[in-house]
Structures are given as structure tokens and as C-alpha cells.
């Protein structure tokens, strides 16, 4: 043990390396849920809304995972999915704003709770004009600042 070091000596934390520095994404994945959904509906809508993003926007998907035993697992998004909630009126506004800014957008309508397959889901959305969609969820992806503006009025999901 050193006895010549001053009693008030302290150690400075090392400078963060590029690998340890926090990652700040220039894009954002966000889901807005209508505030009156049941808990199971919130989970279902969120899962469905983000499911298409990886196939249409492959840069959002990271590398596959593996555990120490070498067991392979699916890759996941490379960035968080932020979940918000809001009133029915906000849903339509977010849809309009997102489309006007050319953001990648997904919709989930109340009609989809009554269908049981992808074909019927697409037909249910196709049967209604965009402004009349009974939206219960909407996903948007794009530049972080644009997504923030589109979601104005939404609050983080509790």
C-alpha cells in the first residue's frame, strides 16, 4: 500500500472510447397507441405495427444474437422503439403529419381486431379512405426531429 499519496487523491474516470460512448440515433422508431385500448390490444397493435419495418427498412435491424453456447437468436432493431399514447383525434393528425413529411408509416385500425388473417387485414384497410380510418395505432419512422414534430401532443406510454 502506498503511503506517500495524498489522502484526498481521487481517480478520474477514463475518457469513454467510441465503443463505450452512448449511441445517439439520428432516426426514431415510434408507435402511437390510442389511449382507450385494453392492455392486450396495446401489445398486439405495437407488435403488428413494427413487424413490417424490418423488411421495408433493413437498416433498422441489427446483427443476429447468440449466447455463450453458440445458440443463435433472431436479430432485433438496432434502436429502441418508443411507445406513446394519445386521443383518437391525435391519431388522425399524426397520420396526416407523418405522410406529409414522407415518413415510413404503418397503421392499425379498429377493424383489424375482427379479422383473423393478413389478407382480411389488408382488405379492411383498403376499404376505407385514409381520412376515415378508425386508427387505434400508428407507427412512424424517420429522422428523429421529423418524428418528434409529427408526434406533437402525444405522451409517453406509461
CA dist., res. 13 & res. 25, Å (int): 25
Other residues' Cβ atoms within 10 Å of the Cβ of residue 48: 17
**Mean pLDDT, residues 122-127 taken together:** 97
CB 32 within 8 A of CB 154: yes
Nearest to 79 by CA among 31, 26, 146, 43: 26
Residues in contact with 85: Cβ distance below 8 Å, sequence separation at least 6, in sequence order: 32, 33, 34, 35, 154, 155, 156, 157, 158
Q: What is the DSSP letter of 79?
A: S
Q: State the pLDDT at residue 16.
A: 53
Query: Using one digit for the tens of pLDDT, what is the confidence trace for 97-113?
Result: 999 999 999 999 999 99
Pull the grid cell for residue 80.
429502441
Distances 92 to 89, 120, 128 between C-alpha atoms, Å: 6, 22, 13
pLDDT tens-digit series, residues 21-77: 777 889 999 999 999 999 999 999 999 999 989 889 999 999 999 999 999 999 999
Instruction: Return d(Cα 73, Cα 121) in angstroms, integer.
Output: 29
Model-level pTM? 0.82
Amino acid at each position: 500500500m502506498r503511503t506517500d499519496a495524498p489522502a484526498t487523491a481521487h481517480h478520474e474516470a477514463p475518457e469513454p472510447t467510441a465503443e463505450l460512448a452512448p449511441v445517439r440515433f439520428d432516426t426514431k422508431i415510434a408507435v402511437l397507441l390510442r389511449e382507450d385500448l385494453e392492455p392486450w390490444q396495446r401489445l398486439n397493435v405495437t407488435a403488428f405495427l413494427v413487424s413490417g419495418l424490418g423488411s421495408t427498412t433493413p437498416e433498422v435491424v441489427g446483427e443476429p444474437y447468440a449466447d455463450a453456447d453458440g445458440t443463435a437468436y433472431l436479430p432485433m432493431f438496432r434502436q429502441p422503439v418508443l411507445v406513446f399514447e394519445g386521443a383518437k383525434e391525435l391519431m388522425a393528425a399524426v397520420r396526416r403529419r407523418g405522410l406529409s413529411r414522407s415518413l415510413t408509416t404503418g397503421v392499425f385500425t379498429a377493424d383489424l381486431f375482427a379479422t383473423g388473417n393478413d389478407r382480411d387485414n389488408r382488405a379492411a384497410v383498403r376499404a376505407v379512405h385514409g381520412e376515415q380510418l378508425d386508427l387505434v395505432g400508428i407507427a412512424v419512422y424517420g429522422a428523429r426531429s421529423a418524428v418528434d414534430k409529427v408526434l406533437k401532443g402525444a405522451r409517453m406510454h406509461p
